[in-house]
Amino acid sequence: MECVAIRFLVATAVILAAAAVISGELVDETSATAGLLWSTGKDESDLLSKAEPENSDDSSAAAVVNDHDDLDGGFSSLEGMLHWAIGHSDPTKLKENAEDVQRLSASELQKRQLELKELIEKMKMPSDAELMQMAIDDLNNSSSSLEDRQRALQELLILVEPLDNANDLNKLGGLAIVIQELDHPDQDIRRLSAWVLGKACQNNAAVQKQILELGALSKLIKMVKSSSIEEAIKALYAVSTLIQNHLAGQELFYAEDGDAMLQEILSNSSNDIRLLRKAVSVVADLAEYQLENIIRAESPCFRNRFFLKSVVDLTASTDLDLQEKALVAVKNLLQLKTTEALVLKDLCNLDGSLERMRRQLLDLMAEEDHRDYAVDLETLRGEVELIFHEKLGKDMKVPT
């Protein structure tokens, strides 16, 4: 296969060079290929000498010949391929090919040029939009195998990361197709579909709006309750990115009882730790968005005693990452108008949780591997404690 590629590329180089000579594009016939193909200005004799070093002991010359042998990422351009092809060819054969081409008539050469141009076009890498369209077509094809659908979704997962590509997904009809896959009987297809939607709308208000209008949120919320933990995690990830900093999305989330879904996850400490982390992060984001939009009425879930308790209880987790996320959520909740400090004290035992965490962090500070993290977490814990006591003092103050 390598020999075929070399012969094809060498023939391409020689034919294109000869065509340039015949058409008068190059003045110096002896360096025609250099003028047309190599911007470095190397002539044919340079390349031939590199293909056949004069001195077998000359390691630098040999390095030029072999410098592409270990490449595993392909060639950056057609020019690079032509360099490589000529450098790996027999100089005698090169001269013979050149002589054969020179004997071609102008019409024959033009015909060969067109044939080669078509082949080169076929060798070009398709654009991201074309790759996305191919993946969408595979998903939209009812005869596509399960493996083809999985591969198409995996390709979209990578392709939608750039903002422009994510914006193009709906224009290509891809969003509706991916949302349809949320109902697929295979749980891995559903998981990948949710993941693609989450990636596409992350920090992208336009795509958030499109997905919401296509009715995906209710499906994703139901998927969070899946018996497959991997599907549930990706569905919750998609929900979180879909409603983050998006007013209409959050209103629809509450209308679909999304807060009850969060409470159900948070109140069960036996849930997968990844699901708990994501759920409490969503609570923190919702409370933070509320703080940034104080004119908007606060959701009833923020004064739901059992909802608040499910968040505070996570501060007792042995997982430090979950503890930190729970603390951030509690900090944001404490700053809301409708959150009652007395509820956090009497029902949720927040003061006891904070003191227990303080002692735990003191022990961690004595361990070199955890010291820096424990210091940062203690700073956050102290901020939460300060806000809590200030709010508690205000709530307990009797008006005169």
The tens-digit pLDDT sequence of the chain (400 residues) is 444 444 555 555 555 554 544 444 444 444 333 333 333 334 444 444 444 444 444 444 444 344 444 333 445 555 565 666 666 667 777 666 666 666 677 777 788 778 777 776 766 678 899 999 999 999 999 999 999 999 999 999 999 999 999 999 999 999 999 999 999 999 999 999 999 999 999 999 999 999 999 999 999 999 999 999 999 999 999 999 999 999 999 999 999 999 999 999 999 989 999 999 999 999 999 999 999 998 888 999 999 999 999 999 999 999 999 999 999 999 999 999 999 999 999 999 999 999 999 999 999 999 988 899 999 999 999 999 999 999 988 766 645 4
Angle (nearest 5°) at CA 7 between 33 and 83: 45
Identify which of 221, 163, 169, 167 has the alpha carbon closest to the alpha carbon of residue 194.
221
pTM, two decimals, is 0.70
Do residues 37 and 11 touch, judged by C-beta distance below 8 A?
Answer: no
Cα-based distances in Å from 185 to 180, 189, 191, 209, 300: 11, 8, 11, 27, 36
Report the alpha-carbon distance of residue 212 to residue 249 in Å, rounded: 7
Report the alpha-carbon distance of residue 123 to residue 135 in Å, rounded: 19
